[in-house]
Amino acid sequence: MTLLPKALLLVAALGLAACNNPDRYGAGGTGADGMNGAGSGIDTMGLGDPNDPQSIAYFNQSVGDRVLFAVDQSTLSPEGRGILAGQAQWLQTNSDYAIIIEGHADEQGTREYNLALGARRAAAVQDFLISQGVAPSRMRTISYGKERPIEVCSEEACYSRNRRAVTVLSMGAGA
Amino acid sequence: MTLLRTLAAALALGLLAPVLPAAAQPLRIVIDEGVIEPLPFAVPDFIAENGGAEEYARDIARVVASDLAGTGLFREIPAEAHISRVTSFDAPVAYNDWQAINAQALITGAVQASGDRIVVKFRLFDVYSGQQMGEGLQFAGTPQSWRRMAHKVADAAYSRITGEGGYFDSRVVFVAESGPKNQRQKRLGVMDYDGANVQYLTDSSSIVLAPRFSPTGDRILFTSYTSGFPAIYLMDVGSLQTRSLGEQPGTMTFAPRFSPDGNTVVFSLEQGGNSDIYTLDIASGQLSQLTNAPSIETAPSFSPDGSQIVFESDRSGNQQIYVMGAGGGEARRISNGKGRYGTPVWSPRGDMIAFTKQNEGRFHIGVMLTNGEEERLLTASFLDEGPTWAPNGRVIMFTRESAGAGGQSGLFSVDISGRNLRQITTEGAASDPAWSPLLP
């Protein structure tokens, strides 16, 4: 019985240490343990008006925050390069944003391999953005492997949208 | 004991077929590639030797029966069919009565309970030869550990009858899952091999993946997104104290496993999109790079003698399995069939490698010899992956995930002949099992 409270304390401590946490899927407010106060890991940020061309909403919708990949590939398609060229241009104009590039895989693969594959995809995007003049110091990559699909069916229609790299913005590139 | 050797050989080949003996012949096992006829056994309720022991006496006998029947190698003859009643642990066995109901093996036992201690005794009999098999044994422990003592009785019986090591008194660390597929919550859990006595080791505030036990079962390696980025962690199972193993910004570390001496971690480190295999000396923190290729190198697993490492790489264009020396160097490919091969795990006996195979849209768990020969697929489904070996190297547990929007993961086990596929009962969805060694 003493094990669980210790685990919660430990995790609470880790949560505090991880405030600026890009693990936004898992972050905070899980509820089961009632940790909802400070340090619960919820980062709040206004997304702005999608009609404001400097907003994250504009970037996500109008510039396009993601590129898709073929099965088991990390090579950028011509369409993907077009989207990323647009991202690079926008990111240079809006230089206050920090950038995390998430690499994802579909569920057709083993867990470890998909983590490595997601990392390859994120790195392909990062390399392209660097080649287009985005400062490497603003960017980090993270792989979610097959852990965070956005589409849940087990068909190619879903898989094709899950094989993606997503450029996620937050304030604070100057740090 | 040629009987035992024959059975051991049968198990080694995965071809066990106990056959009902003609009356008055000793327990006999015949190798046969045909249908397995499980060996009939009886486990009457253990004798409660004092007040307060009744419940343990009954429950322990039930767990022993469940362990043995759960292997698929044994079949219990239910108590309703018993003619003879065992009234005292040391009373002579009425072999004729047990022969009459076709029980080939008989397990009797007794329990004493006193305060914070229970004592469990058992004997195993070969009914047809009219002899005790091995010495009677006694285990003592706390009342809370009654299931472990039951598992120890079953391990001893299994071991004496099959000639193999036992595996019932063991734990499994795994990932407990909840929530929908696109918002899966994951936390580490640990349970008995049969799903009982679950404890959770983390909450689900961060994704956790692929925990692995140390060779003595006292520590766990796993991958967690606690810092926001995936990295490997080391947890002490007793205290739950957890520390990062030298996370470096800009890299991802994953797929960790212990060396057989427990002093070294072998894992993948990704940098700039490229994953290679490294080792880390836990005490000194010294890092060594074992592979250096632009391809994906991951899922490393030591041979039990510590001299070699099996891993997967897509250097040939798709995932295949390779073996290299424990210090790195040239690797030889051992997987040769159609499809992709990943997540190799060396058997604790050293004789085989279990793997996940992906071919023509299906996933399989399989085993092969360490040189890649004699590949045998044990399962097939929409998604099977991540095999882990029972301590005796004769049973494999793995993750099976169902397809579609409501797809869920569960833990399954299968023996190395491909027989006896079973789902482990867990409270909710579960994945990434890793078996502990046999407990002391």
A42 vs chain B: nearest CA distance in angstroms? 11
Nearest to B200 by CA among B428, B423, B424: B428
Binned at pLDDT 50, 70 and 90, residue B247 comes out as confident
Question: A113, A139, A140, A170: best mutation site toward chain B, by most B Cβ within 10 Å?
Answer: A113
The nearest CA of chain A is from the CA of B89 a distance in Å of 36
As a whole number of angstroms, the distance between CA B336 and CA B334 comes to 6
Give percent of chain B above pLDDT 70.
Answer: 92
* A25: its two tokens: 């899927």
Domain coordinates in residue numbering, chain A: 1-44, 56-171
Q: Which pLDDT score, from 0 to 100, does residue A33 have?
A: 37
Largest CA distance in chain A: 57
Q: What is the predicted pLDDT for the residue at A173?
A: 52
Nearest to A138 by CA among A96, A81, A83, A85: A96
B239, B268, B318: residue with CB nearest A116: B268
- Chain A residue with minimal CA distance to B386? A110
Beta-strand ranges (E) seen in B142-261 are: 171-178, 185-192, 199-200, 208-213, 219-224, 231-236, 242-244, 251-258
Q: What is the mean pLDDT of chain B?
A: 92
Say which of B206, B272, B299 has its CB closest to residue A112: B299
Percent of chain B with pLDDT over 90: 89
B180–chain A nearest CA distance, Å: 9
Q: Which residue has the tokens 């060694």?
A: B437
Instruction: Give the residue from B348, B335, B337, B341 showing the smallest Cα distance to B395.
Output: B348
- DSSP assignment of B298-359 equals EEEEE-TTSSEEEEEE-TTSS-EEEEEETTEEEEEE---SSSEEEEEEE-TTSSEEEEEEEE
Q: What is the pLDDT of residues B312-365, one digit of tens each?
A: 999 999 999 999 999 999 999 999 999 999 999 999 999 999 999 999 999 999
Cross-chain Cβ contact A148/B274 below 8 Å: no
pLDDT at A19: 36
Helix, strand and coil in chain A, % to nearest 5: 40, 15, 45
Per-residue confidence (pLDDT) for residue A50, from 0 to 100: 81
| Residue among B120, B108, B174 at smallest CA distance from B145 | B120
CB nearest to B207's CB, from A26, A122, A123: A26
Distance CA A101, CA B241 (A): 31
Residue B78 or residue B1, greater confidence: B78
Task: Show the 3-state SS of B45-63.
Answer: CCEECCCCCHHHHHHHHHH
Closest by Cβ to A117, choosing from B201, B296, B403: B296
- Domains observed in chain B: 2-162 (3.40.50.10070), 171-435 (2.120.10.30)
User: What is the structure's pLDDT at B379?
Assistant: 97
- List the 1-40 stretch of A: residues with Cβ below 8 A of B: 3-4, 6-8, 10-11, 14-15, 17-18, 20-23, 25-28, 30, 32-33, 35
CA dihedral B262, B151, B417, B316 (to 10 degrees): -20
Report yes or no: B343 and A110 within 8 Å, Cβ to Cβ: yes
Distance from B241 to chain A by nearest Cα, in Å?
A: 8
Output the pLDDT for position A15: 35
Q: DSSP character for B293? A: -
Please identify every stretch of chain A with a pLDDT value under 50, giving residue numbers as ranges: 1-39, 174-175
Using DSSP, state whether A57 is helix, strand or coil.
helix
CA of residue A35 relative to chain centroid, distance: 24
Note which residues in 97-116 of chain A have CB less than 8 A from chain B.
Answer: 107-113, 115-116
Chain pair A-B, CB pairs under 8 angstroms? 165
Between A111 and B35, the higher pLDDT residue: A111
At B4, the pLDDT band (50, 70, 90 cuts) reads very low
CB contact under 8 A, B255 and A140: no
Q: What is the pLDDT of residue B263?
A: 98
The neighbouring-strand residues paired with B188 are B175
Tell me which residue in B183, B199, B250 faces A3 most closely, judged by beta carbons: B199
Q: pLDDT band for B283, please (50, 70, 90 cuts).
A: very high
On whether the CB atoms of residues B81 and B73 are closer than 8 A, the answer is no
More confident residue, B37 or B151: B151
User: CATH number of A56-171: 3.30.1330.60, 3.30.70.100, 3.60.20.10, 3.20.20.80?
Assistant: 3.30.1330.60
Residue A119 at interface with chain B, using a CB cutoff of 8 Å? yes
B422 pLDDT above the threshold of 50: yes
What pLDDT is attached to residue B6? 41
Residues on chain A touching B230 (C-beta within 8 angstroms):
115, 142-143
Q: Which of residues 206-225 of B touch A (CB under 8 A)?
A: 206-207, 209-210, 223, 225
| DSSP type of residue B106 | E
Write down the pLDDT at residue B249: 85
Q: Which of A7, A109, A113 sits opposite B203 (nearest CB)?
A: A7
pLDDT at site B321: 98
